[in-house]
């Protein structure tokens, strides 16, 4: 699947769990997703406030890296142990919020002159993408079938290899302007990545619906909400980078 967090393997494992009280519902997952979103916003609001009280990137750098690395570690634990989702996913959301608030404040400060609404635009576009993809999924305009899953999986692997390759090359002083520059080709690549992130939401919605229909255990509501947050955070970051690239061309 496009989102490795919400994989078929995890679904089968949870479906075999015995002795759980309650079953997963779409409504319950949606409620928990909103709670996690509130935690993300709370964390982001804190680091945003810290940054603008000092106007110094150094004031939020520890929070940014702590949130990023801490969130990554918790994401790995939750992915391999879904039963921990009710306890760890709120902490994950808070840590990611600390990271997002810090990085967003830095972008906002850097583009204050050329793109003063870059953060609000990124948030609005992210929310619109999620709503559009939900509408597309609900009305079945795009079928989430085997072919779609294969295309998304290949796309995700390609993006992952692209990012890893870029990071490795940067260690040797090689700068890939295709990824980090503001050329038309770089912007085009970002648009493709944003599209893949947006279409990944269809896979998330499909997983949540199928798991609920199959009577997955109650804790999977938190796991489904966690997986949805992973995709939304990725989508927001990619949209933010795309807007920054276009602003640099002005």
Cα separation, 3 vs 200, whole angstroms: 6
Residue numbers of the domain that contains 94: 8-248
Residue 3 lies in a domain: no
Number of domains in the chain: 1
pLDDT tens sequence across 192-241: 999 999 999 999 999 999 999 999 999 999 999 999 999 999 999 999 99
Answer yes or no: is 2 within a domain.
Answer: no
**Following DSSP, what letter does each residue of the chain receive, concatenated?**
--STTS-HHHHHHHHT--S--SB--HHHHHHHHHHHHHHHHHHHHHHHHHHHHHT-HHHHHHHHHHHHHHHHHHHHHHHH-GGGHHHHHHHHHHHHHHHHHHHHHHHHHHTTTT-TTHHHHHHHHHHHHHHHHHHHHHTTSS--SHHHHHHHHHHHHHHHHHHHHHHHHHHTT---HHHHS-SHHHHHHHHHHHHHHHHHHHHHHHHHHHHHHTT-BTTHHHHHHHHHHHHHHHHHHHHHHHHHHHHHT-
Determine, yes or no, domain membership for 85.
yes
| pLDDT 10s digits, 77-96 | 999 999 999 999 999 999 99
For residue 78, count CB atoms less than 10 angstroms from its CB and return exposed for 0-12, middle for 13-18, buried for 19 or more.
Answer: buried
Indicate whether 1 belongs to any domain: no
Residue 12 has pLDDT above 60, yes or no: no
Q: pTM of the predicted model, to two decimals?
A: 0.89
**77 in any annotated domain:** yes
43 part of a folded domain = yes
pLDDT of residue 132: 97
Of 7-11, 74-78, 128-132, 228-232, give the lowest mean pLDDT range. 7-11
């Amino acid at each position: 699947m496009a989102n490795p967090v919400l994989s078929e393997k995890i679904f089968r494992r949870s479906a075999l769990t015995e002795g759980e009280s309650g079953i997963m519902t779409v409504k319950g997952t949606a409620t928990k997703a909103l709670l996690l979103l509130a935690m993300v916003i709370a964390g982001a609001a804190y680091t945003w406030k810290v940054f603008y009280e000092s106007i110094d990137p150094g004031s939020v750098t520890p929070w940014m890296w702590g949130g990023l690395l801490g969130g990554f570690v918790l994401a790995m634990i939750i992915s391999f142990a879904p039963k921990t989702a009710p306890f760890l996913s709120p902490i994950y959301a808070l840590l990611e919020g600390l990271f997002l608030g810090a990085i967003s404040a830095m972008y906002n400060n850097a583009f204050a002159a050329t793109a003063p609404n870059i953060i609000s635009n990124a948030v609005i576009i992210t929310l619109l993408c999620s709503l559009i993809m939900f509408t597309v999924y609900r009305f079945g305009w795009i079928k989430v079938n085997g072919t779609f899953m294969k295309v998304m999986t290949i796309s995700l692997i390609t993006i992952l290899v692209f990012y890893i390759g870029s990071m490795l090359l940067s260690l040797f002083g090689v700068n890939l302007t295709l990824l980090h520059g503001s050329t038309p080709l770089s912007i085009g690549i970002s648009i493709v990545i944003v599209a893949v992130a947006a279409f990944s939401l269809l896979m998330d919605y499909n997983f949540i619906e199928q798991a609920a229909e199959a009577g997955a255990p109650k804790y999977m509501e938190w796991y489904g909400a966690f997986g949805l947050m992973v995709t939304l955070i990725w989508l927001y970051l990619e949209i933010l980078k795309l807007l920054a690239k276009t602003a640099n061309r002005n």
